Structure 1
Amino acid sequence: MTLSHDLAGQGPTTVVLLHSGVCDRRMWDGQFSALAEAGHRVVRCDLRGFGETPVDAAHTHADDVRDLLDHLGIDRAAVVGSSFGGQIALELAVRHPGHVSALALLCSGMPGFEPSEELRAWGGREDALLEAGDLEGAVELNVDTWLGPEADAAARALVLEMQRRAFEVQLAVPDEFSPVRTGVTADDLAGVEAPALVVAGAHDVPDFRAVADELTRLLPAARRLDLDWAGHLPALERPAETARLLTAFLAELPGRP
């Protein structure tokens, strides 16, 4: 299966945008055109089980992204990942390092990271709502948790729509079509040589700030950026500012004209 995707722009560098686990490719509406206008070829996709990409088999998200790049004839790309998308970007960089020229990790997840008791308890609340058939309650819980104080009503409405869509798709998937673990560990990240921008939000949940600490320590070419205004989804909370910081990072990469 080829992931549902959009393309924009032309230029010597390609940028791939990987969405968070409560969103789909629409979360990048505030950056997609801006990055193309800055001289990049830009790809955004729906991972399997999100947006317009169904789940039709067992799968590994990082390999799905690699297959999409191959389908598009893209040898190397700078990969931008938000939250869960950041974890997929890291797994892609470990499993298929030749495809990844740089990483921008926005409030990223991390392979092998053990969640805190508080985050596990939050996951239990979500599971209980879904098991009780309260889909809207589970959607509201996610929106209230993951959007920071800068998010406006339009951002909230979009996350409501994207998370609801993800639940509807994923709850209908049989167990045998579940994602396959990659086996990538935290120790593997020490071998990722690509330049990496590690972004943390001051208003994010503590687990993801701890992940940013670990990624900054583990990735050999990491640079840390803390946003005092951001929650967990800066691309939706301040879209234009996030576009500018990504454009600036990409402009600094080695070999960029």
Structure 2
Amino acid sequence: MDLHYEVHGSGDPIVMIHSPGVDMREWVFIVPHLAKTNQVVIFDGRGAGKSPSPSEPTDYVDDLLKLIDHLGLKKVTLVGHSMGGQIATDFTLTFPDKVRKLVLLAPSLTGYTYSSEFIQWMQSVNAVAPDVKKLVELSLSGPNYRITMSSPHQDFLYDMTRHHMKKVFTEWENFEMTWPEPPAIERLHEIKVNTLFIQGDKEWKDMFRIAEHFQEVPSIRFTLIKDADHMVTLTHPEKITNDIQLFLQDG
């Protein structure tokens, strides 16, 4: 296994998949609490943190499978944030027998067509590449970060994002990603496991549209956190932890 990972605690396993642009450190305020009752696995996705950067098209679902098999885990609860939630969703659809429960924090979704407003914003950010300083500043000035960037976690998020951007533009050899087909947006009704969907109320409109698609999941519950943006893992870790623990205890 070439991905950098850590295992904390013991009990029924939870595997946590971080958001893009940061690394597994985003779980720093949540893991210690979940590890009191569960085995918690966190890892740096390919190209992030201390994991190797991609030299060929990246298959994040396959990476997750290899990690779970490497650790000898038979069935896990997946917790995925942002694109980590997209990975968790696709993994659940591809390997349903390996997932006990699914927790999604403001997930993205394969097959979803983003609005022109969001696409134009991303293009404006990418236009300043490879200037890492400008990339970080523009990325974190988006409306989906305004709560976090006015919180005590501002510097922490800035440091993680800067580390990631620097890694992307100095180490990455390939920027392609491969995802299972057909896309998850067409198959959400096939998810059989109990699912918890959490997001903040200060987000891009696209994130709320994605949430509407997830209503197709047969057994899903939604939690909206007031005065929270995309980085709910940093600003509201107690709420996230409590919701996950109650969800795991409920059947």
Calculate the TM-score normalised by the size of structure 2: 0.92
145, 154, 169: which one aligns with 1:156: 154
Secondary structure, counterpart of 1:223 in structure 2: strand
Q: Residue 7 of structure 1 aligns to a residue in which SS?
A: strand
Q: Is 1:119 aligned with 2:122?
A: no
Deviations 1:167-216 (A, max 9, x none): 222223223x632232241112211111111112111111111111111x
Q: What CA distance in whole angstroms lies between the structure 2 residues aligned with 1:173 and 1:234?
A: 28
What's the CA shift for 1:164? Answer: 1.7
Partner AA of 1:137 in structure 2: K
Measured after TM superposition, the shift of residue 153 of structure 1 is: 4.6
Q: Does 1:2 align with 2:2?
A: yes
3-state secondary structure, aligned to 2:223:
strand
Task: Report the secondary structure of 2:40's partner residue.
Answer: strand
131, 134, 140: which one aligns with 2:131: 134
Question: For the residues of structure 2 that align with 1:17 and 1:155, how far apart are their CA atoms?
Answer: 20
Letter paired with 1:223: R
Distance 2:220 2:182 in 1: 18
Q: Distance in 2 between matches of 1:245 and 1:201?
A: 13
Preserved CA contact (<8 Å) 1:148 1:204? no
Give me the whole-angstrom Cα distance separating, in 2, the residues matched to 1:33 and 1:183: 36
Contact 1:58 1:179 in 2 (8 A): yes
- Determine helix, strand or coil for the equivalent of 2:29: helix
Deviation for aligned residue 1:2: 3.0
How much identity, in percent, do the aligned residues show? 26
Alpha-carbon displacement from aligned partner over 1:44-100 (angstroms, at most 9, x marks no partner): 111101111112443200110111000000011111111110000001111111111
- Residue 72 of structure 1: aligned partner: 71
Matched residues, number = 247
User: 2: CA distance between counterparts of 1:219 and 1:114?
Assistant: 19
Whether the 8 Å contact between 1:204 and 1:232 is mirrored in structure 2 is yes
Matched, 1:229 2:227: yes
Structure 2 stretches lacking a partner, 5+ long: none
Question: Residue 121 of structure 1 aligns to which amino acid in structure 2?
Answer: Q
Aligned to 2:172: 173
Secondary structure of the residue aligned to 2:7 is strand
Gaps of 5+ in 1: none
CA 1:50 to 1:63, structure 2 compared with 1: closer, same or farther past 3 Å? same
Q: Which amino acid aligns with 2:235?
A: E
Work out whether residues 105 and 198 of structure 1, in 8 Å CA contact, stay in contact via their aligned partners in 2: yes
Q: Which amino acid aligns with 2:50?
A: E
1:108 partnered with 2:142: no
- AA aligned to 2:3 is L
Instruction: Using structure 1 for the length normalisation, give the TM-score.
Output: 0.90
Cα deviation, residue 144, structure 1: 2.4
